[in-house]
Chains A and B, each alone.
Chain A
């Protein structure tokens, strides 16, 4: 099925470890996004890529880096994980126009101990 695929679905890290969350879309969308979801705080934008070759910071970028590998793939890296980064991470993609909604992946549940 067409859509947004995130891997892994679950991950437990120790404080200080690094990891990369992978995201790929097959809808030929220009824009891709990484959000984190925390109870009572909704979804907060970490980084986004309006088009291939560009990335920009969102609301909560500290502690994260991203790579827009090609038009399909947008990865999120935690260089040194902290307990405050325990969250559910969602990748999404969209057309460039503001009137289009997002297509979301099913999420990665990350726990940092």
Chain B
């Protein structure tokens, strides 16, 4: 079975500062990894995904994430945040070997950008 851990439930940061949102996963098989963003009162939107190849993945809105197989991590980063980045961020994992497309989500990290 897969699981995803997002240790930080809330991350406050000042505008234009860098931010890192942490994600660790556990799985006995190879996985695909995803980051989703949820703005207030909206559904989730795909930010970026790691499938294979380069371990550094770039997504929308200036976000990027690095896959680290030895540490089973997929941390999300942005070098300079904006007020509009205030949202909840979810890490998710999918089993590469099984059929279908079931995602297991972490509990989310609330990013609050302050002036």
Taking Cβ atoms with an 8 Å cutoff, the residues of A that contact B are 4, 31, 33, 35, 40-45, 48, 50, 58, 90, 92, 94-102, 104-107
Contacts and interface: CB of A to CB of B under 8 A. Distances in A.
Given A42-B108, A101-B34, A96 B43 contact: no
B71 interface: no
Contacts of B107: 40-42
Nearest to B49: A101
A91 B101 CA distance: 14
B44 A90 contact: yes
B102 A45 contact: yes
B43 A104 contact: yes
Contact of B32 (A95, A96, A98, A106): A98
Contact of A107 (B43, B49, B94): B43
Contacts of B46: 101-102
Contacts of A99: 32, 49, 51, 94, 96
